[in-house]
Structure 1
């Protein structure tokens, strides 16, 4: 009996070793994906791409990013016919496949797979019985398609931040707020205030900045737009002055929006819009998360803002936005919450986290 048990144990160990080895080989065999963040390759027939169904998908991907001073598209779009989809193109980081087959499908749906040809990679497939249904589907689910691809990219950026991030920002977040926070590694200069810090890359172009501040939680009214923006303006006026005494940072309230979101499964408020320097020509986009620190009965705000008058700002602000999701409030570290953004659930057959 003892010998049989030993034999079974050795057999299972051997099987497990083989499975692990094959999985590792499969992982190592895949090349690194190509393309820059927020680039999308659409695999669809050339003629279909020019017809209403193809134009419907193009229009979804070609929408502007909210909260920027100048129009910038959500994605950089490329297209290839399935016959040209070869080993050079199939390693693209974000791929959308259009599959219209009247004899194969009775309804339109989406599904996705990860790391099919390369890593990291996502392949989103939209299946439909006809072009009319396809166009209606992508128009109805436009925001979900955009959100899905954006969150995939942000999760990749979060993974990179986990490996390499600003030690300065991490130290400030811990020492002032007892929080964990990963910000882009180039952010090194900083200024501290009462329940506040401002850290910056301090570069000649493409200036990226992170702020954190806190204030007492006073119930539901703490999260209305007027209250949130008034708090922001008072904090920024006190802590981020201009080159002259009458200059200070403020919010362009007409170009700013707020909405509730979930961060690590908890309520948060996202504020997105434009900042300006009063009595000066400086300005740019910002995005922030306001969250309740229940252990200390306070609101903790993490914000990223950009000053880059000579550059496109899409990549800069989205990288800072990804960093906001890494913030762990006191007590969250012990729960080992994953620093990532759940993908949207509209995708049929969605993989579970």
Structure 2
């Protein structure tokens, strides 16, 4: 009987321990946005395979006035990968073992050691396979890390956003938009509004405008830029006559994207004030509102000659993904990398 009670107590204790472990509150991930920790042996990190991974992370953010890296890179050898290191917000963990892996695969896990964390694991049979994989999937890795950070910002904007900007979007276009809370100054025009934090340092801006949808040709590069320049000239003039915002066509990237599971066109480039010395980066999303048969454009642009602009423009870019057209369901940016299945036992 005593032995029976002992085993019963042991089983009960194990169940309680398992329950506590499962429901244990995780710490919050550490590190700054766009900071990445790579866990890889020191000698391999300095070898061609490690340099191939480093080169992926060491790329420039496209279409900024000055060179700025996409990510802040940290590295550690696995033998130093302790509990504190495991709290990094973005971790790339590389496992090289030809006895376990026949090909290179990449997966990620959410909140493995901390909340608001992703751990991207690359399993590969050899250094040569790792190098080849990095060369073939460089954009996929960059997009994954960038979209992960962007989704974090989108979630924050859902909790705290500019009511001024959201009200303008609703009253002008029947849409919702979550912009940073400090964007409270605004100007209205015909099918147009501009909102800003109106500061002397790090000027952040979002504007929205619309025009009639005329078919697929509406979404070619020349048409979109022509519309942008004409609308900005009319609505955002400079301090003196003859000054107005225009697009610097020497650096303009355009590509189709998906927002809330619908088609959109992204333009990324540089703007300048004609006959003035102002300028900076911009990003815009052009989308079709089927209810009104109009193109709705939401754009973020920055003027900050005294500071770096990567984090400023990316923070505003996250706002563009929150634009919710009539009858539309919100969703986060889609991630193409396979996610590890969580153990639900």
Q: Is the shorter-chain TM-score for this pair beyond 0.5, marking a shared fold?
A: yes
Query: Residue 225 of structure 2 corresponds to which residue in structure 1?
Result: 229
Once the two structures are TM-superposed, the CA of residue 338 in structure 1 deviates from its matched residue by 3.0
Query: Residue 8 of structure 2 corresponds to which residue in structure 1?
Result: none
- Describe the shift of the 1:267–1:133 C-alpha distance in structure 2 as closer, same or farther (beyond 3 A): same
Query: Residue 9 of structure 1 corresponds to which residue in structure 2?
Result: none
The answer to whether 1:84 aligns with 2:80 is yes
Q: TM-score, normalised by structure 1?
A: 0.90
The answer to whether 1:58 aligns with 2:50 is no
Coordinate RMSD, CA, aligned: 1.7
d(CA) in 2 for partners of 1:348 and 1:226? 38
The answer to whether 1:185 aligns with 2:181 is yes
The answer to whether 1:105 aligns with 2:101 is yes
Paired residues of 2:98 and 2:126 also in contact (CA < 8 A): yes
Query: Residue 168 of structure 1 corresponds to which residue in structure 2?
Result: 164
Query: Residue 275 of structure 2 corresponds to which residue in structure 1?
Result: 279
1:239 to 228, 231, 235: 235
Indicate the SS of the match to 1:271.
strand
1:220 to 187, 199, 216: 216
- Describe the shift of the 1:314–1:27 C-alpha distance in structure 2 as closer, same or farther (beyond 3 A): farther
d(CA) in 1 for partners of 2:253 and 2:76? 37
Indicate the SS of the match to 1:272.
strand
d(CA) in 1 for partners of 2:35 and 2:19? 31
Query: Residue 153 of structure 1 corresponds to which residue in structure 2?
Result: 149
Paired residues of 1:112 and 1:350 also in contact (CA < 8 A): no
Cα deviation per residue 1:22-67 (whole Å; 9 max; x = unaligned)? Answer: 48x7465210100010000001111111000000000000001111
Once the two structures are TM-superposed, the CA of residue 257 in structure 1 deviates from its matched residue by 1.6
Once the two structures are TM-superposed, the CA of residue 339 in structure 1 deviates from its matched residue by 3.5
Cα deviation per residue 1:149-187 (whole Å; 9 max; x = unaligned)? Answer: 111101100000000001111000001000011001111
Indicate the SS of the match to 1:31.
coil
2:245 to 249, 261, 264: 249
Cα deviation per residue 1:59-83 (whole Å; 9 max; x = unaligned)? Answer: 0000011111111111000001111
Alignment of 1:1-353 (within 5 A): 22=19, 26=22, 29-332=25-328, 337-345=329-337, 347=338
Once the two structures are TM-superposed, the CA of residue 291 in structure 1 deviates from its matched residue by 0.1
Indicate the SS of the match to 2:45.
helix
Q: TM-score, normalised by structure 2?
A: 0.92
- Describe the shift of the 1:294–1:70 C-alpha distance in structure 2 as closer, same or farther (beyond 3 A): same
The unaligned stretches of length 5 or more in structure 1 are 1-17
d(CA) in 2 for partners of 1:136 and 1:350? 26
Indicate the SS of the match to 2:224.
helix
Indicate the SS of the match to 1:151.
helix
- Describe the shift of the 1:349–1:277 C-alpha distance in structure 2 as closer, same or farther (beyond 3 A): same
- Describe the shift of the 1:248–1:261 C-alpha distance in structure 2 as closer, same or farther (beyond 3 A): same
Paired residues of 1:158 and 1:339 also in contact (CA < 8 A): no
Provide the aligned length of Structure 1 versus Structure 2. 327
The unaligned stretches of length 5 or more in structure 2 are 1-14
Once the two structures are TM-superposed, the CA of residue 138 in structure 1 deviates from its matched residue by 1.1
d(CA) in 2 for partners of 1:324 and 1:344? 20
Paired residues of 2:109 and 2:340 also in contact (CA < 8 A): no
Q: Which runs of 4+ in 1 moved over 6 A?
A: none
Paired residues of 1:60 and 1:146 also in contact (CA < 8 A): yes
Indicate the SS of the match to 1:173.
helix
